[in-house]
Structure 1
Amino acid sequence: MKIYKNISQQRYLWLNKALQSNAYEAWLIDNGSLTLRLQKRYARFSVQPVALKFAKPIQDEAALLHLPVHKTALIREVLLMGNNQPVVFAHSVLPRTSLRGAWNGLGRLGNKPLGATLFANPKVKRTPLSYKKLTPNHALYKHAAQHLTQKPSYLWARRSIFSLNCANIMVTEVFLPQLLAI
């Protein structure tokens, strides 16, 4: 693990293990389709689009996707809803070059789950998951917390990169407190 001299750089550090994630651990480390798992758990599962726009990715997202910092990508944000409650906030970064070929329809999914598309194709490869305990100063915490009535002191997130024919997209899933409610 790299030690950062500048404390502000620590906000970009993601972990290889979901350390001390407690009740969220089983959700965080599951390598299968989160969409499928949520569909099995909730009688009423849906995807609620929040944002779809071309924008600059967060600095560490751009670095992992090998995008120059001045380039924009399609940013898709949705809420995964279980029984009409937001349980996961999903943030996807789709570089323009990845919106061609087999993935040319990813920018037009609307209320369809991205996970269903990704896991349906056996040729899609996924990097190992990485994890972060997001605090209120992190951009993804701010985006996810907008949809919560009570703001927790932190939110757990995981992310990975999906690849198909040299096209890469990053998917980050932020787990919301309602997921643990019975």
Structure 2
Amino acid sequence: MIPARAAWRSALLQRGRAPAPALRPWLEERGSLTARIRARCDRFRVQCLRQCLAPIGSEEAACLGLPAGTRVWMREVLLLADEVPVVFAHTVMPLAPRHPFDQRFFALGQRSLGSLLFSDPRIARGRLEFRALDRRHRLYRSAEAALGPQPGWLWARRSRFGRGAKGLLVNEVFLPAVLSL
């Protein structure tokens, strides 16, 4: 079991738990995850599960410098390779006047966020942080709600993307099928 107070870390080894060697390159990829998946399947697709206003959780709020519970734009999607879900992604973006992502974020529909983030050289990616998730974590429960029962724990990563002080936080939960790519 993962300790209840386990935190996001910049190192992959966490309290004696390490990801499978085949998963490490996926977790450590600093480029476009969409491009990496596309290169390994015949058909890539994004399934938008929901996009709405929602209160931000305390972990995400701390990353973006917001008070916990602040309403943000939230988007959850599945990344599918040959119709098999391989990644559950959860993105939060602050409500801010003239936010650099606002209009493009809302127009994504079934397209990947990576198509926006990695096409603009002015957008910088922050450090990658990792965490093994179990059923106690909200992201794990969100993935399970979309997909049904999952293994006892799943690896996730997150990073902030932004231009200056304005940014968004992308969380990616790697599903077991990603190892078949």
Same fold (TM over 0.5): yes
Q: Which amino acid aligns with 1:111?
A: Q
> Hey, what's the Cα distance between the residues in 2 that align with 1:161 and 1:101?
14
> Which consecutive segments of 4 or more residues in structure 1 shift more than 4 A?
none
Secondary structure of residue in 2 paired with 1:69: coil
Give unmatched runs, 5+ long, in structure 1: 1-6
Counterpart mapping for 1:83-162 below 5 A: 83-97=82-96, 100-101=99-100, 103-162=102-161
> Hey, what's the Cα distance between the residues in 1 that align with 2:10 and 2:177?
25
Q: 1:180–1:147: structure 2 CA closer, same or farther, 3 Å change rule? A: farther
TM-align CA RMSD: 1.7
How many residue pairs get aligned? The number is 174
> Hey, what's the Cα distance between the residues in 2 that align with 1:28 and 1:160?
11
Is contact 1:98–1:168 with CA below 8 Å preserved after alignment?
Answer: no
Identity of aligned residues (%): 37
Q: CA deviation at 1:101?
A: 4.1
> Hey, what's the Cα distance between the residues in 1 that align with 2:60 and 2:39?
30
> 1:96-133 CA deviation, whole Å, 9 max, x = no partner?
11763454221221101101110001111111100000
Q: Which residue of 2 aligns with 1:167?
A: 166
Is contact 1:155–1:176 with CA below 8 Å preserved after alignment?
Answer: yes
Q: Which residue of 1 aligns with 2:10?
A: 16
Q: 1:53–1:167: structure 2 CA closer, same or farther, 3 Å change rule? A: same
> Hey, what's the Cα distance between the residues in 2 that align with 1:171 and 1:14?
13
Q: CA deviation at 1:71?
A: 1.5
> Hey, what's the Cα distance between the residues in 2 that align with 1:59 and 1:137?
15
Higher helix proportion, which one? 1
> Hey, what's the Cα distance between the residues in 2 that align with 1:46 and 1:142?
22
Counterpart mapping for 1:44-63 below 5 A: 44-63=43-62
> 1:67-118 CA deviation, whole Å, 9 max, x = no partner?
1223200110000000001100000001111763454221221101101110
Q: Which amino acid aligns with 1:175?
A: F
Q: 1:25–1:69: structure 2 CA closer, same or farther, 3 Å change rule? A: same
> Hey, what's the Cα distance between the residues in 2 that align with 1:31 and 1:116?
14
Q: CA deviation at 1:15?
A: 1.1
Give unmatched runs, 5+ long, in structure 2: none
> Hey, what's the Cα distance between the residues in 1 that align with 2:47 and 2:41?
15
Secondary structure of residue in 1 paired with 2:75: strand
